[in-house]
Amino acid sequence: MSIEVRPLGVKCNIQCQYCYQNPQRDAGNIAQGYDLEKIKAAVEKEGESFTLFGGEALLVPEADLEKLWSWGLQKYGSNGVQTNGVLINENHIRMFKQYKVHVGISIDGPGELNDVRWVGTIERTRAATASTEKAIERLCQEGIPPSLIITLHRANATADKLPIMYEWFRYLESIGITSARLHILEVENEAIQQKYVLTPEENFTAFLGFAKLEEELTTLKFDVFADMRNLLLVEDNNSTCIWNACDPYTTSAVRGIEGNGQSSNCGRTNKDGIDFIKANQPGFERYLALYYTPQEYGGCKNCRFFLACKGQCPGTSIDGDWRNRTEHCQEWKRLFSYIEAKLIDEGEIPISISSNRQQLEQVFIETWAGGKNTNLYSAYHWLKEKTIKASQN
């Protein structure tokens, strides 16, 4: 779970062409100001350490960043920021160290491979990428390596680009990067679809390549592969939100706080340009619907990976409609099959082929129908205890 504070809403210094927040910008829903006291009061209500998010968090003036992070350190012991890294300067680096700010940086590759994260002209775009690359190196030199988010598309993950990406990750590992998250491009409009989207085959090939690269690397990990493996082994206590039956109206993994203190959801599900406020009650209708709906109608019926995948992040649903499963079903299914085969080779019994699978699915269905969520670890152990008790009676 993370508390994401967005003092300036979706306001950003660059214009990534694919950004899922563009519908909100196009609709003119950009925050004009913020109130630090209201933000702090909202954070206190949540009672946990927070990450500054955006848009671009580092557009917040340095004096206000200092106020927020010094308060955050004193109250919760650490801080976070998710940034495109372009604006990071020496004063930011001092604050990151002084106020224990964990830094997440988004960059899609070195040099021209990051061109889709656009800054108006090609010169400005390349200069911005160079600043981000330098910031990554500086943070590593300072002993506070950032974690990275890389979005895959036609400008960085086609067959001709992948070897450059692999080499870049080898370099990143050598300077101290240990954690990277790969995003499949989520498509918001036709123009992006035509220009940047990879085919399911290309996405799969890219992911498979990164999985193989991870085996060669020693300290740098892509969280998605550990997640998928752990899900199949019912060890999913720490898996990321995309696998956890996220309700698009309450997005429990992301508790957003806007500049005026208002609560908000993860922006991934805002398809109409409107930042809806959080609903009071979670609901799991999406997951009940996916379980019962045949795959030809946008559901997941009879998929042996449903317990692990759950139709994936609602922000990536087919046609932007959260009632559907993810538009990246083909890719995830093939990757799960790949990891499933590896686990079988290792002598494990992944949940996808376990004789318990259908019983476990019923536990999820009943839990969701009761308005609650669960995970594989809890459901599996609950079922196991129940079976033991029944055999003793």
Ligand X SMILES: C[S@@+](CC[C@H](N)C(=O)[O-])C[C@H]1O[C@@H](n2cnc3c(N)ncnc32)[C@H](O)[C@@H]1O
Q: Could you say whether residue 289 binds ligand SF4 (CB under 6 A)? A: no
Report in angstroms how near the CB of residue 96 gets to ligand SF4 at its nearest. Answer: 24
Of 96 and 336, which has the nearer Cβ to ligand SF4? 336
Q: Kindly write out the interface string for residues 88-127 of this chain, putting x where it contacts ligand SF4 by CB under 6 A and - elsewhere.
A: ----------------------------------------
> Residue 145 corresponds to which tokens in the numbers above?
């390596």
Tokens 């400008």 map to which residue?
Answer: 155
x/- map, 205-244, ligand X, by CB under 6 A? ----------------------------------------
First CA to last CA distance, the chain:
40
Binding mask 235-254 for ligand SF4 (x = CB under 6 A): ------xx---x----x-xx
**Chosen from ligand X, ligand SF4, none, partner binding at 110 (C-beta under 5 to 8 Å by type):** none
Smaller CB separation from ligand X, 60 or 307: 60
Using the minimum distance from each CB to ligand SF4, give the nearer residue, 230 or 269. Answer: 269
Judging by DSSP bridges, how do beta strands 79-83 and 117-118 pair with one another? unpaired
Neighbouring C-beta atoms of residue 125, cutoff 10 Å: 19
Instruction: CB nearer to ligand SF4: give 305 or 368.
Output: 305
Cα–Cα distance for residue pair 157/139, rounded to 1 Å: 26
* Strand, helix or coil for residue 279: coil
One-letter amino acid identity for 123? Answer: E
- Per the CB < 8 A criterion, the answer to whether 287 and 368 are in contact is yes
With binding defined as CB under 6 A, does residue 365 bind ligand SF4? Answer: no
Q: Which stretch binds ligand SF4 (CB under 6 A): 16-24, 203-211, 327-335, 362-370?
A: 327-335
**Residue 30 C-beta: closest distance to ligand SF4, Å:** 20
Which alpha helices (H) appear in the chain, and where do they start and end?
Answer: 22-26, 36-46, 62-76, 90-98, 122-141, 162-175, 190-196, 200-216, 223-232, 285-292, 306-309, 329-345, 357-369, 376-392
21 binds ligand X (CB under 6 A): yes
Single out the residue of 183, 310, 328, 333 in contact with ligand X (rule: CB under 6 A): 183
Residue 365 interacts with, from ligand X, ligand SF4, none (CB under 5-8 Å by kind) = none
- Strand 79-83 to 101-106 pairing: parallel
Alpha-carbon radius of gyration of the chain: 21
Q: Min. distance of Cβ 85 from ligand X in angstroms?
A: 8
Distance in Å, CB of 149 to ligand X, minimum: 4
Burial zone of 66 (CB within 10 Å; 0-12 exposed, 13-18 middle, 19+ buried)? middle
- Tell whether residue 83 is a contact of ligand X (CB under 6 A): yes
Among ligand SF4, ligand X, none, what binds residue 116 when CB lies within 5 to 8 Å by partner kind? none
Angle at which helix 329-345 crosses helix 200-216, to 10 degrees, equals 40
For position 12 contacting ligand SF4 by CB under 6 A, the verdict is no
Burial of 128 (0-12, 13-18, 19+ CB in 10 A): buried
Alpha carbon 361 to chain centroid, angstroms: 25
Query: What separation in angstroms does the CA of 192 have from each of 27, 36, 125, 187, 198?
Result: 18, 36, 18, 7, 11
* Residue 306 site contact among ligand SF4, ligand X, none (CB < 5 to 8 Å, cut-off depends on kind): ligand SF4
Helix (H) or strand (E) holding 256: strand 254-258
Pick one of ligand SF4, ligand X, none as the site partner of residue 333 (Cβ within 5 to 8 A by kind).
Answer: ligand SF4
Cis peptide bond N-terminal to 55, omega within 30: yes
Q: How many CB atoms lie within 10 A of CB 38?
A: 15
Q: Is 186 in the site for ligand X (CB under 6 A)?
A: yes
Contact between 24 and ligand SF4 per CB under 6 A: no
Among 39, 224, 313, 379, the residue binding ligand SF4 under the rule CB under 6 A is: 313
Q: Which residue ranges make up the site for ligand SF4 (CB under 6 A)?
A: 241-242, 246, 251, 253-254, 266, 268-269, 295, 300, 303, 305-306, 309, 311-315, 325-326, 329, 332-333
Q: Which residue ranges make up the site for ligand X (CB under 6 A)?
A: 12, 16, 18-21, 53-56, 82-84, 106, 149, 151, 183, 185-186
